[in-house]
Structure 1
Amino acid sequence: MKPVSSLAVALAAATVLSSAALAQTATPTPAPVTETAQPAMAQPAPEMKAVLDKLTELGAKPIGTQSVEETRKGPTPADAAIAVMKDKGIQPDATVAAVKTKDMMIPGAAGEIPIRIYTPEGTGPFPIVVYFHGGGWVIADIDTYDASARGIAAGAKAIVVSADYRHAPEHKFPAAHEDANAAYKWVVENSGSFNGDATKIALVGESAGGNLAANVAIAARDQKLTAPLAEVLVYPVAGKDMTTPSYVENANAMPLSKQAMEWFVSNVFVSKDQAADPRLDLVNRTDLAGLPPTTIINAQIDPLRSEGEMLAEKMKAAGVTTQQKTYDGVTHEFFGMAAVVPQAKEATDMAVATLTKAFGD
């Protein structure tokens, strides 16, 4: 059962003095005091807990407690998932393992950026998924999110182009957004060079990358570019409000906490006021109509859960075909852990179903 997402109310009962004598002399009993209780954070499912425990065992420190350089060098949830696989003797899915990769550099908005092209088994030409990784626009890279891209390529039988982008604080907002748009344009224009079919193209992004994917879809609409047939946003950054129910519930969650999000904001933006930019504050945009069919995937134990759910409602209200699901018992970063976390396999299947339907396969 999901935890109560709004603040619970604790009622105190007053003691009634029945003695007539005391009633004549005693000070009137004060009115009952209503206290606001903090909602308890949900407990992770056993498989998710095993990954979080391994992350701690590997020496991960809470995001926001170290410098950018130290944080980038630290173990990641992906490292923990791989370690759990080794501990349990779990082998990668054969179809996933068969996906081939090619690394290259392409023009970004201000210099070259890395991409990795994932090609599934088959002859092609293949549909294309442009994928953007997470990391708060500060940490992580293509390698960190390798499992997500491989799983999508294998499941959707599509080429996945995982595009990196400039990171903050070296490159402040909107550098990553500009690079994401440049990467999408390059993929459309050069799809034939890697056996891709640009008439069947979609977007996927996780966390900060989910925000990038959403913005690329908006840019494609506004600039009359080749339109993506679908987008899958996995626990996207979609708002600026850090007082939502999920932020309150999961303020101290691993691996993403409220402190971590505040740390990302401090590194990404020149000033906190920039978080109100419509590219960040998607839930308050008034121009969401005309976007492709959208699937939004959220984790229960995640500060970003509420804004993902709100974004889904806003998109539906704008007439966008939208489905959203929050997976219980899992945390931010669960999506790429299909080999060890059952909910991650379910979420990957949901994403793949969205993509294959859009591609007409």
Structure 2
Amino acid sequence: MPLDPDTAAMLLDLQNRHVPAMSDGTPAQGRAMLRAMAGIEGRDPAALPPMDSVEDTEVGGVPARVYRPHAPTPAPTIVYLHGGGFVIGDLDTHDVTVRLLALDLGAVVVSVDYRLAPEHPFPAGVDDAWAAFASVADHIDAFGGDADRLVVAGDSAGANLAAVTAIRARDEGVALAAQLLAYPTVDPAGSYPSRSENAAGYFLTAADMAWFSAHYLGVTTDSAEARDLAADWRISPLLTPSLAGVAPAVVATAEYDPLRDEGVAYAAALTAAGVQV
């Protein structure tokens, strides 16, 4: 289908303003760019989707923000992991997304501020995601209160962490109702047509993806060390020996996204393993 008009206008605006590529800057510059694009500074609090409460706290020793909508209790609980290539993004950049998720689903959402690369390369983000999720599962009464409706969710890199967390939940015997994966990266060393078809012109470029991976892995992406790391299921959940028994999944992909095909491949692998997708 044609590129969404609003998305096309945003991309044209970035081009006209000569916004530098993420991969041409430093992680600090990339983080500042995403915060600027999210319109955080000067945002009118009254215009945000309303919550009963929003609390900054720690969950499992990891900084987090808990969103509670006006909804009946007990309620579902969603552990949310933001996107940003494991390098950029924070609680503020995904604040509106998380509020809408809480509001639309009537769920308590725990947004996790996991550690970022390159200061904290793999497996720091994986460890933080699990620590936060396991703590929520262990103390569900302090959140939504319904142990049968615990969900893990994320977008892009955060969807990778969500998928990995769902696999570990299966392995650790922690009940998980569902996983929500929005344009997940699940096989970073794989070869997919969408990587070349959408390598430039749609904000996330092939160069950006290599830049993110190099920071997250702590090695150059074309090195033997990178290839060895990419075989680790905690980086490439598509390579997990078996996906049987993981939580039911909602997988969202975007047509003009380099990550499109691996998201489709992951949905197919889950389905083949008998998982409801």
Post-superposition offset of 1:123: 4.3
Post-superposition offset of 1:158: 0.7
Go from structure 1 to structure 2 and tell me whether the alpha carbon gap of 1:60 and 1:106 turns closer, same or farther (over 3 Å shift). farther
2:254 alignment partner, SS class = strand
Deviations 1:193-243 (A, max 9, x none): 245323321111100110111111111111112x21111100011112353
Go from structure 1 to structure 2 and tell me whether the alpha carbon gap of 1:49 and 1:294 turns closer, same or farther (over 3 Å shift). same
The separation in 2 between residues aligned to 1:137 and 1:252, in whole angstroms, is 20
> For structure 1, which runs of at least 5 residues remain unmatched after alignment?
2-42, 323-361
Work out whether 1:148 is the aligned partner of 2:107: no
The separation in 2 between residues aligned to 1:282 and 1:75, in whole angstroms, is 26
The residue aligned with 2:133 is 184
Listed as ranges, the matches of 1:1-361 within 5 Å are 1=1, 44-56=3-15, 60-76=19-35, 78-79=37-38, 92=47, 96-98=49-51, 100-107=53-60, 112-225=61-174, 227-241=175-189, 243-271=191-219, 272-273=226-227, 274-322=229-277
Structure 1, 249-258 or 187-196: larger mean CA deviation = 187-196
Q: Under a length normalisation based on structure 1, what TM-score does the superposition of the two structures give? A: 0.69
2:163 alignment partner, SS class = helix
The separation in 2 between residues aligned to 1:130 and 1:252, in whole angstroms, is 32
Go from structure 1 to structure 2 and tell me whether the alpha carbon gap of 1:285 and 1:242 turns closer, same or farther (over 3 Å shift). closer
The separation in 1 between residues aligned to 2:142 and 2:254, in whole angstroms, is 37
* Alignment-mate amino acid for residue 241 of structure 2: T
The residue aligned with 1:338 is none
The separation in 2 between residues aligned to 1:192 and 1:58, in whole angstroms, is 48
| 8 Å contact from structure 1 (residues 152, 158) kept in 2 | yes
The separation in 1 between residues aligned to 2:114 and 2:276, in whole angstroms, is 29
Go from structure 1 to structure 2 and tell me whether the alpha carbon gap of 1:269 and 1:198 turns closer, same or farther (over 3 Å shift). same
* Alignment-mate amino acid for residue 55 of structure 2: K
What percent of counterpart residues are identical? Answer: 36
1:259 alignment partner, SS class = helix
Cα RMSD (Å) = 2.5
| 8 Å contact from structure 2 (residues 34, 89) kept in 1 | no
Deviations 1:259-306 (A, max 9, x none): 111001110113322122112222233310001111100111110000
Structure 1, 97-106 or 283-292: larger mean CA deviation = 97-106
1:301 alignment partner, SS class = coil
1:289 alignment partner, SS class = coil
Aligned residues: 269
Deviations 1:24-83 (A, max 9, x none): xxxxxxxxxxxxxxxxxxx62211123334445676421111011222222458526999
The separation in 2 between residues aligned to 1:194 and 1:169, in whole angstroms, is 32
| 8 Å contact from structure 1 (residues 51, 81) kept in 2 | no
The separation in 2 between residues aligned to 1:60 and 1:105, in whole angstroms, is 35
1:253 alignment partner, SS class = coil
Which of structures 1 and 2 has the bigger CA Rg? Answer: 1
Deviations 1:156-195 (A, max 9, x none): 1010111111111111101100110000111112222245
1:129 alignment partner, SS class = strand
